[in-house]
């Protein structure tokens, strides 16, 4: 009798008990937010003042000014050229770097330096890499191209290597047993399993390069970014609006094309 | 002897044509680009020498510079990244819900949500920073807003996809009990989306740490300001100090993210 | 010379001498295995799980590196072969796997054609330049295993039994001198298992080659094999005709009595 009562007493405890760890974490988070907003010096007046300026900015940005469309077009063209060259070279190189970084296919003396190199390519933001290239190879498209090649390798090769490490090795074993050489082995047991993912990464990076190519120009590496930056500095906000609209249009076009390519190569 | 010759082709004609089409377009684009892009050949061949020169100027790293400026700036950068990511949620959550076809069923709301999400992603965080520096003046605020506005597109899109991927069974069940819409969200959707939610947030925070580091180049606070100042004064050894700090912090951030992932998800 | 004498004087098709394999030092999986194959037909290898049957088979085509010993095949020691020579020897050994190991995203016919990869240059392989003769042979093999109408389908759309038949077609496509089958029927239902064994028997007779088959169903083994090799604890403990196997032998191989009917 006593045991039945105590077990039902246990059941009357609230099954949705407060997890104090989680609650604590939320409280810390809230405290952090409040503290930071204060530290940032964000007072209500400053915010409203900022909104006023934003309003003014919007007014000056519209209607967008396309009168200097030749400048716009040449900047756009340069950005596209940078993106295309960097993507093709970057994708091609990533195929090899990714393969050499796969620990289930290659011995350690190959994978370790390759993975290190890829990690190095990923660590720094493309803008920083762009600055370094600008300082060493000069202003212009070359710096932009080299920057985006590095960025492409950092992204595609890493994900490609991870995709290869996830494949079923049974298929590889079977092809090895037929006496196939190394290249045939890769082509028939590895690539069928990972190629469509590789295309996915490649098209994503093409898209990303298109975005970044418009931005590396801010530090002098060629493309529309330079035009944008000087427009900002001259307070030509309506031209800025025109440039931003072109950038968005270009990127949307890139996304559409990427989807088409992905469907064709699936 | 009957010799029948069998026919086998890997791709249908349509497939082959479209594949060749893609290759053709790619090659044409490449050739056109190489012809029109303005690259001065001397600069190209000069490049390795120039880069080596730059690296010699960046060595040895000026460690003494660290406590003066770099440390404070890195903390600032981390704050920008964290606050920006948190701020993102305020916009990304409703947009994700509007974008998911299993929450709000109208195509109209999806189009609006998609518009905001795509525009957010199309404008680079550096460009957002330029805009906000123009509005709010140089400083951390511009940086935080730039990070937030850029991340909304990323988080919103991935979150929307995660929401669409849940199992609608539990949602149906809770709706059948007559629970209000918010309760259905909290108890039906949220428990299923939660692992993906944290995964996306962590992923974006990791990226934002990298992004925040460069926003200072246009005045939006953080270590980018330090780098910009040092570069303008040609103090390359201080630049490499700042770069090293970024490198270390990025690696630490990745370690933190990997460990939280293991424990939480 | 009588044909029987001539037969005795031909060299064995496969000779394994003193084969050892340790995955961790001090814990050998295969202990000094000696096997000689002289005739065509199915040779069944039976034994409990973990006794090294898979390891043995994979040592023969060097998917696993033996620790010591010799494997004489086609007048060469497989254990010493390297590079191109190893591949030349390997392509003469056709292997059928327990889990079929087909390349799932490729079509059935492409999977069969991969049996020729050991005979083609990588460039031809990349360009998918299979000779017309190879294509014909592949289709005929598919017909022989009863899958002709599935030729253009993706491998992962087939059932287990169908996939194993493709696996056998691929192995036979190599025009091998010997077939190895690592538990080819373990993942299949009893009826399909018999079909697979019948296929192996048919090809082995047709091509006049031996087929080493790992199998743990002793009844199935006795039904199809001309010779049974029993392994226990990494050693060969029985080597002879299926008729001569007694319960004592089976106890020695598998241990315990409760599974014996």
Residue of B nearest to C151 (CA): B8
How would residue C6 be classed by pLDDT, with cut points 50, 70 and 90? very low
- Element at C43 (helix H, strand E): strand C41-46
Average confidence (pLDDT) over A2-28: 66
* C57 pLDDT above the threshold of 50: yes
Residue contact C136–B8, C-beta within 8 A: no
C185 part of contact set with chain A, CB < 8 Å = no
Report yes or no on A217 lying in a domain: yes
- pLDDT one-digit tens code per residue, A132-172: 888 888 888 889 999 999 999 999 999 999 889 888 899 99
pLDDT value for B6: 80
- pLDDT one-digit tens code per residue, B68-121: 788 888 888 999 999 999 999 989 999 998 888 888 878 888 888 888 888 888
Residue contact C109–B4, C-beta within 8 A: no
Q: Read off the tokens for C184.
A: 């080819």
How far is it, in rounded angstroms, from Cα B44 to Cα A129? 17
How would residue C261 be classed by pLDDT, with cut points 50, 70 and 90? low
How would residue B3 be classed by pLDDT, with cut points 50, 70 and 90? low
Chains that touch B (3 or more CB pairs under 8 A): A, C
Quick one: DSSP state of residue C182?
S
Number of domains in chain B: 1
Of B26, B82, B134, Cβ closest to residue A232: B134
Average the pLDDT over each of A14-18, A65-69, C45-49, C59-63 and give the range with the smallest value. A14-18
- From residue C48, how far is each of A259, C22, C51, C54, C143 by CA, in Å? 53, 18, 6, 11, 35
* A218 pLDDT above the threshold of 80: yes
Question: Which domain range does residue B69 map to?
Answer: 58-264
- From residue C56, how far is each of C66, C78, C228 by CA, in Å? 9, 13, 15
* A8 pLDDT above the threshold of 70: no
Report yes or no on A11 lying in a domain: no
Q: Do residue C153 and residue C43 come from a single domain?
A: no
- pLDDT one-digit tens code per residue, C79-94: 888 888 899 999 999 9
Number of domains in chain C: 2
Q: What is the CATH number of the domain that holds C203?
A: 3.40.50.300
- From residue C249, how far is each of B22, B84, C54, C224 by CA, in Å? 66, 74, 21, 19
Question: Which domain range does residue A215 map to?
Answer: 71-264
Chains that touch A (3 or more CB pairs under 8 A): B, C
Cβ contacts of C130 on chain B, cutoff 8 Å: 8
Q: Do residue C86 and residue C18 come from a single domain?
A: yes
How would residue C162 be classed by pLDDT, with cut points 50, 70 and 90? very high
pLDDT value for A53: 83
- Hey, which residues 52-111 in chain C have their CB within 8 Å of chain B? 109-110
Total CB pairs under 8 A between chain A and C: 86
Question: CB-based burial of residue C191 (10 Å sphere; 0-12 exposed, 13-18 middle, 19+ buried)?
Answer: exposed
Report yes or no on B33 lying in a domain: no
Report yes or no on A39 lying in a domain: no
pLDDT value for A41: 64
| Contact predicate B180/B191, CB 8 Å | no
Q: How far is B28 from chain C (nearest CA, A)?
A: 23
How would residue A3 be classed by pLDDT, with cut points 50, 70 and 90? very low
Total CB pairs under 8 A between chain B and C: 19
* C8 pLDDT above the threshold of 70: no
Report yes or no on C4 lying in a domain: no
Residue contact A179–C91, C-beta within 8 A: yes
| Contact predicate C97/C186, CB 8 Å | no
Report yes or no on A51 lying in a domain: no
Report yes or no on B41 lying in a domain: no
How far is it, in rounded angstroms, from Cα C228 to Cα C242? 6
3-state secondary structure of B22: helix
pLDDT value for B162: 87
Q: Do residue C57 and residue C122 come from a single domain?
A: no
Average the pLDDT over each of B173-187, B201-215, C89-103, C108-122 and give the range with the smallest value. B173-187
Residue contact A174–C170, C-beta within 8 A: yes
| Contact predicate C215/C185, CB 8 Å | yes
* C4 pLDDT above the threshold of 60: no
pLDDT value for A43: 67
Residue contact B86–A33, C-beta within 8 A: yes
* B145 pLDDT above the threshold of 80: yes
Q: Do residue C31 and residue C46 come from a single domain?
A: yes
3-state secondary structure of A216: helix
Residue of C nearest to A168 (CA): C101
C118 part of contact set with chain A, CB < 8 Å = yes
pLDDT value for A157: 94
How far is it, in rounded angstroms, from Cα B40 to Cα B57? 24
Closest to A226 measured CA to CA, from A247, A207, A198, A251: A247
pLDDT top residue among B59 and A177: A177
Closest to B218 measured CA to CA, from A228, A5, C109, A105: A228
Report yes or no on A259 lying in a domain: yes
- pLDDT one-digit tens code per residue, B221-255: 889 999 888 888 888 888 888 888 888 888 888 88
ipTM of the complex: 0.82
B10 part of contact set with chain C, CB < 8 Å = yes
Question: CB-based burial of residue C261 (10 Å sphere; 0-12 exposed, 13-18 middle, 19+ buried)?
Answer: exposed
Residue contact C63–A176, C-beta within 8 A: yes
Residue contact C136–B10, C-beta within 8 A: no
Report yes or no on C5 lying in a domain: no
* B125 pLDDT above the threshold of 70: yes
- pLDDT one-digit tens code per residue, C98-113: 999 999 889 999 999 9
Which residue among C154, C169, C184 closes a domain? C169
Closest to C113 measured CA to CA, from A195, B17, B9: B9
pLDDT value for B65: 73
Of B38, B51, B250, Cβ closest to residue A136: B51
What is the number of residues in chain A? 266
* C213 pLDDT above the threshold of 80: yes
Total CB pairs under 8 A between chain A and B: 142
Q: Do residue C159 and residue C190 come from a single domain?
A: no
- pLDDT one-digit tens code per residue, A72-127: 888 888 898 899 999 999 999 999 999 999 999 899 999 999 999 998 888 888 88
What percentage of chain C has pLDDT greater than the value 90? 49
Report yes or no on B246 lying in a domain: yes
The upper half-sphere exposure of residue B228, i.e. CA atoms within 13 Å in the direction of its Cβ, equals 17
Q: Do residue C162 and residue C41 come from a single domain?
A: no
**The Cα angle at residue A100 between residues A169 and B249, in degrees rounded to 5:** 110
Q: Which of A40, A55, A77, A122 to mutate to test the interface with B (most CBs of B within 10 A)?
A: A40
Q: What is the CATH number of the domain that holds B124?
A: 1.10.3720.10
Task: Dump the DSSP string for C53-75.
Answer: HHHHHHHHTTSS--SEEEEEETT
How far is it, in rounded angstroms, from Cα B106 to Cα B140? 38
* C26 pLDDT above the threshold of 50: yes
> B111: phi > 0 → left, psi -120 to 50 → alpha, else beta; which?
alpha
* C1 pLDDT above the threshold of 70: no
Q: List helix spans (H) across chain A.
A: 2-11, 20-39, 44-61, 69-100, 108-123, 126-137, 141-152, 158-165, 169-177, 182-185, 191-213, 224-233, 237-264
Q: What is the CATH number of the domain that holds A154?
A: 1.10.3720.10
Q: Do residue C23 and residue C51 come from a single domain?
A: yes
Report yes or no on A199 lying in a domain: yes
Question: Which domain range does residue C185 map to?
Answer: 11-92+176-253
| Contact predicate C193/C218, CB 8 Å | no
Cβ contacts of B10 on chain C, cutoff 8 Å: 110, 128
- pLDDT one-digit tens code per residue, C117-139: 989 888 888 888 899 999 999 99
C78 part of contact set with chain A, CB < 8 Å = no
Closest to A83 measured CA to CA, from A229, A199, A204, A195: A204
3-state secondary structure of C227: strand
Q: Read off the tokens for C46.
A: 């039976």
Of C104, C126, C174, Cβ closest to residue A187: C126
How would residue C96 be classed by pLDDT, with cut points 50, 70 and 90? very high
Chains that touch C (3 or more CB pairs under 8 A): A, B
Residue contact A174–C87, C-beta within 8 A: no
Q: How many other C-beta atoms can be found within 10 angstroms of the C-beta atom of residue A123?
A: 17
Q: How far is C167 from chain B (nearest CA, A)?
A: 19
| Contact predicate C179/C204, CB 8 Å | yes
């Amino acid at each position: 009798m006593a045991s039945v009562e105590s077990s039902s007493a246990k059941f009357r405890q609230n099954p949705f008990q407060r997890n104090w760890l989680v609650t604590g974490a939320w409280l810390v988070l809230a405290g952090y937010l409040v503290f930071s907003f204060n530290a940032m010096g964000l007072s209500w007046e400053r915010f409203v003042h900022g909104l006023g300026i934003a309003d003014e900015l919007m007014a000056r940005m519209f209607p967008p000014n396309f009168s200097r469309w030749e400048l716009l077009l040449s900047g756009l063209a340069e950005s596209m050229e940078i993106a295309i060259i960097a993507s093709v070279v970057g994708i091609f190189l990533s195929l090899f770097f990714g393969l050499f970084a796969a620990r289930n296919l290659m011995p350690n003396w190959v994978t370790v330096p390759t993975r290190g190199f890829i990690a190095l390519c990923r660590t720094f933001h493309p803008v920083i890499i762009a600055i370094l290239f600008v300082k060493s190879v000069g202003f212009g498209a070359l710096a932009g191209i080299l920057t985006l090649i590095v960025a492409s390798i950092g992204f595609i090769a890493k994900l490609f290597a991870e995709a290869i490490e996830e494949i079923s090795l049974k298929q590889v074993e079977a092809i090895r047993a037929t006496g196939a050489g190394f290249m045939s082995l890769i082509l028939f047991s590895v690539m069928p399993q990972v190629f469509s993912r590789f295309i996915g990464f490649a098209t994503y990076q093409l898209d990303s390069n298109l975005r970044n190519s418009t931005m590396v120009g801010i530090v002098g590496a060629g493309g529309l970014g330079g035009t944008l930056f000087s427009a900002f500095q001259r307070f030509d906000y309506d031209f800025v609006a025109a440039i931003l609209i072109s950038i968005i249009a270009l990127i949307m076009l890139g996304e559409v094309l990427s989807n088409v390519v992905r469907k064709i190569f699936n | 002897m009957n010799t029948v010759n069998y026919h086998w082709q890997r791709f249908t004609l349509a497939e082959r044509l479209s594949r060749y089409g893609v290759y053709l377009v790619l090659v044409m684009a490449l050739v056109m680009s190489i012809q029109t892009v303005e690259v001065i050949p001397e600069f190209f061949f000069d490049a390795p020498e120039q880069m080596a020169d730059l690296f010699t100027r960046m060595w040895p790293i000026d460690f003494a510079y660290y406590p003066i400026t770099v440390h404070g700036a890195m903390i600032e950068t981390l704050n920008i990244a964290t606050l920006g990511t948190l701020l993102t949620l305020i916009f990304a959550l409703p947009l994700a819900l509007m974008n998911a076809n299993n929450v709000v069923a109208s195509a109209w709301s999806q189009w609006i949500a998609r518009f905001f999400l795509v525009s957010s992603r199309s404008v680079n965080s550096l460009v957002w920073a330029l805009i906000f520096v123009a509005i709010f003046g140089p400083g951390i605020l511009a940086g935080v807003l730039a990070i937030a506005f850029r991340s909304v597109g990323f988080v919103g899109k991935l979150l929307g996809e995660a929401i669409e991927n849940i199992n609608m069974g539990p949602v149906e069940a809770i709706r059948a009990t007559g629970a209000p819409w918010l309760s259905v969200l909290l108890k039906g959707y949220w428990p299923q989306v939660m692992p993906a939610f944290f995964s996306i947030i962590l992923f974006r925070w990791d990226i934002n740490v990298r992004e925040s580091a460069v926003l200072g180049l246009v005045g939006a606070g953080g270590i980018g300001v330090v780098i910009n100042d040092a570069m303008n004064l040609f103090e390359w050894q201080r630049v490499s100090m700042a770069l090293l700090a970024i490198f270390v912090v990025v690696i630490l951030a990745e370690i933190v993210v990997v460990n939280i992932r293991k424990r939480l998800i | 010379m009588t044909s029987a004498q001539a037969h005795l004087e031909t060299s064995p098709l496969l000779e394994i001498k003193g084969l050892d394999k340790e995955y961790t030092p001090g814990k050998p999986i295969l202990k000094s295995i000696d096997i000689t194959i002289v005739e065509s037909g199915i040779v069944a290898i039976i034994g409990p799980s973990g006794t090294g049957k898979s390891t043995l088979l994979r040592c023969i085509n060097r998917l696993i590196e033996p620790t010591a010993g010799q494997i004489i095949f086609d007048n060469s020691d497989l254990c010493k072969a390297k590079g191109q020579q190893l591949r030349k020897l390997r392509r003469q050994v056709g292997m059928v796997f327990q889990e079929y190991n087909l390349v799932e995203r490729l079509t059935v016919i492409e999977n069969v054609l991969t049996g020729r990869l050991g005979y083609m240059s990588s460039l031809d392989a990349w360009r998918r330049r299979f000779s017309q003769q190879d294509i014909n042979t592949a289709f005929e093999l598919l017909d022989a295993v009863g899958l002709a109408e599935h030729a253009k389908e993706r491998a992962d759309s087939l059932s287990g039994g169908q996939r194993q038949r493709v696996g056998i077609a691929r192995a036979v496509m190599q025009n091998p001198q010997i077939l190895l089958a690592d538990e080819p029927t373990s993942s299949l239902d009893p009826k399909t298992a018999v079909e697979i064994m019948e296929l192996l028997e048919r090809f082995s007779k047709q091509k006049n080659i031996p087929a080493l088959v790992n199998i743990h169903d002793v009844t199935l083994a006795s039904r199809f094999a001309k010779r049974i090799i029993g392994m226990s604890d990494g050693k060969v403990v029985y080597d002879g005709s299926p008729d001569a196997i007694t319960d004592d032998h089976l106890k020695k191989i598998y241990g315990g009595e409760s599974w014996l009917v």
